[in-house]
Structure 1
Amino acid sequence: MLATLKRLFKHRWLDETDTRRAIPPDMVKRLAQRVAASEKRHSGEVRICVEAGLPTSYILRGATARDRAVTMFGKLRVWDTEHNNGVLIYLLLAERAIEVVADRGLNRKVTPQEWREIVARMGGAFRDGRFEDGLTEALAEVSALLVQHFPLAPGEADTNELPDEPVLG
């Protein structure tokens, strides 16, 4: 019970103001531009979501950052792409937790070890408070996988199925 209370306090201590301080509007704009540029090279869709803390209901039931990332993957409709190749890059500030959730089309082609390595590389930047560097690196690595497995054919235009702007909460 004490661990749950400590965790609850940690997640309630941070709010959207902290998220916007970590990811200011100019960074949101740059990240959206990077997502848009990435998606011109492949048929996948990439979303970035940064949240300060988990909702209270998640903490009380012992849910993890991964549980929340999977929920946000659904809420943001990242699963709803034509080729089942959407990817969510999720950052939870309260726990400095990073999750990458990919739809089944891409998951069939990328090993769990590759995803863990991407998350590990992002972790160093986030631990140092370099959120833009970490998100940019993650986007570059996810984009490389999407270009490798779902490239656009020469002359094929990208259909932008989801918004490019990061979601902050």
Structure 2
Amino acid sequence: MWDTEHNNGVLIYLLVPEHAIEIVADRGLARCVAPGEWQALVSQLAVHLREGRYEEGLAQAVDAVSARQAAHFPRRGAGTAYANELPDAPAVR
């Protein structure tokens, strides 16, 4: 996630056994978004996970991250298509 063209990759990290959530933004996006905004997203996701609403919570978290990326790294011009530099599939380890 560290080697995207604009340094704006984001990792939503769930460590299920420890009930830990972390949102890690690369330096380009981290400069644009206050740490409190990331913490608010973590808190919202935690509520959903505690209530067993996993899919809803993760979908909202991904949408919220995407909105921040779009706000700070908008597409340039009509029809501009950026290649997805990172896979979107969950990595289960």
Which residue number corresponds to residue 55 of structure 2? 132
TM-score, length basis structure 2: 0.93
Q: Which has the larger radius of gyration?
A: 1
The percent identity for this pair of structures is 55
Separation in structure 1 between the aligned mates of residue 73 and residue 65 of structure 2, nearest angstrom? 11
What secondary structure does 2:24 align onto? strand
Matched, 1:91 2:14: yes
Which residue number corresponds to residue 111 of structure 1? 34
Aligned counterpart in structure 2 of residue 100 of structure 1, from 23, 34, 53:
23
When the two chains are superposed, the root-mean-square deviation of aligned CA atoms in Å is 0.9
Separation in structure 2 between the aligned mates of residue 126 and residue 97 of structure 1, nearest angstrom? 11
What whole-Å deviation, never above 9, does each CA across 1:74-118 have from its counterpart, x for those lacking one?
A: xxxx01100000000011111221100000000000001111101
Q: Which has the higher contact order (CA 8 A, sep 6+)?
A: 1
Pairwise mapping of residues 69-88 of structure 1 onto structure 2 (< 5 A)? 78-88=1-11
Greater than 3 Å deviation, 4+ residue runs: none
Deviation of residue 149 (structure 1)?
Answer: 0.3
Deviation of residue 142 (structure 1)?
Answer: 0.3
TM-score, length basis structure 1: 0.53
Separation in structure 1 between the aligned mates of residue 33 and residue 83 of structure 2, nearest angstrom? 23
Letter in 1 for 2:54: F
Separation in structure 1 between the aligned mates of residue 36 and residue 45 of structure 2, nearest angstrom? 14
Pairwise mapping of residues 28-107 of structure 1 onto structure 2 (< 5 A)? 78-107=1-30
What whole-Å deviation, never above 9, does each CA across 1:128-167 have from its counterpart, x for those lacking one?
A: 1221111101001101101100111222111121112111
Number of residue pairs matched by the alignment: 92
Letter in 2 for 1:127: R
